[in-house]
Amino acid sequence: MKKITIILLSALSAGLIVACGAGDTTNGNTYYSASNTSHYVIESGINPQNESQLYLSMITRTSTWQVPLTPVTTSVSGTNSYTYNQNNTFVTVTLREGIFGISYKSTTENWIDIASIESHVASSIPNGSYNLLCDQANLSPCTMVVESDALTGNQVVSVTEFNSYGNPNVLCDGSPIIQVGQSNPINTYLYSFTCSNAGGTSSGTWDVLPFTKHGRTALMVAENNYSSNITDDSTDEIAFSQNGISPNGNYNYLYNQSGGVGVTVASFTGGALLNNSISGCSACGLTLNQYYNANAATGFAWYSSSSLFGANYNVTGDDIIKMYQDSVMGFYL
């Protein structure tokens, strides 16, 4: 679920690395995730022999990885989708209302990431209560509370994880939020704080990128990786304001399931989830305002697959922003 390393293609291998922004750029948008190591640019006008050709760039502090994109059709309204499939590398990009989703698959690594167009990145983190599916060791229902410290006035954050019995596990309590700013020139919009994961057995830096969509702010989060003890370099989850949800409509489903990554179409309709990428979920009924198992919680939902062994998955999201996440490790965009 994380891009542990960044694959840089040699300019000699396929001629795919070119100077970022070379030529007259006719279409350029920058996208930021919760990554502290890279951001993305989609632009045209690079190739003087084909000015309309779009290119995807992933830019790090030292290098630019760049590939041409091929448009593909999708049934999800308001979506632009693209692929790249060369040199044993398959990339899918989906764009919808300023949200960028990418899946990357090669012979050496698979990962996904979620990012926001730069113009929608928020200038601050609003105080309030948020829902998220956190702790990458467990991917459990969690709450995040952002508030101002009574003594200093500075923002602090508390994150609590819940198991299927509703028992809480505090991962961090009153951890100071730090604005990263120019200390990380690859992503100056980040905030960070110290928190635990792996059920509280590991601790490290979590990075946060606030973004606004349809007038409401949510938070892209990259957790500390409990196995490598470094912060993940992609968005692990999204923290949504605590509001009731009733998902409806068609979505691009960006997933990372047991090492398999990709983008497909999923639908919420009539109180059910239709998602053929999840075994036994051609029509999974949603239980709203609960997380599994029968734990009341505004802004969560859960469903059970009808596969041979069965499985129960939690969902959270936002009806205004029109984005959701489930504990299969998938984002509905």
User: What confidence tens digit (pLDDT) does each residue in 298-327 have?
Assistant: 999 999 987 755 689 999 999 999 999 999
Q: What is the pLDDT of residue 106?
A: 94
63 closest CA partner among 5, 121, 140, 138: 5
Q: Give the burial string for 29-64 (b: 16+ CB within 10 Å, else e).
A: ebbbbbbbbbbbbbbbbbeeeeeeebbbbbbeeeeb
Q: What is the pLDDT of residue 310?
A: 66
Q: What is the pLDDT of residue 47?
A: 83
Could you list the pLDDT tens digit for every one of the 333 residues in the chain? Answer: 434 344 443 332 333 333 333 333 346 899 999 999 999 999 998 888 888 899 999 999 899 999 999 999 999 999 999 999 999 999 999 999 999 999 999 999 999 999 999 999 999 999 999 999 998 777 899 999 999 999 999 999 999 999 999 999 999 999 999 999 999 999 999 999 999 987 777 789 999 999 999 999 999 999 998 788 899 999 999 999 999 999 999 999 999 987 689 999 999 999 999 999 998 898 999 999 999 999 999 999 999 987 755 689 999 999 999 999 999 989 999
Domain 121-241 has CATH 2.60.220: no
Tokens of 172: 């961090």
Q: What is the pLDDT of residue 201?
A: 79
Q: Where in the chain is the domain with CATH 2.40.128?
A: 11-119, 121-241
* Positive/negative CA dihedral, 123, 128, 131, 135: positive
Give pTM, 2 decimals: 0.91
Beta-carbon neighbour count of residue 300 at 10 Å? 26
Q: What is the pLDDT of residue 202?
A: 78
User: What confidence tens digit (pLDDT) does each residue in 238-277 have?
Assistant: 999 999 999 999 999 999 987 689 999 999 999 999 999 9
Task: Say which CATH topology domain 11-119 has.
Answer: Lipocalin (2.40.128)
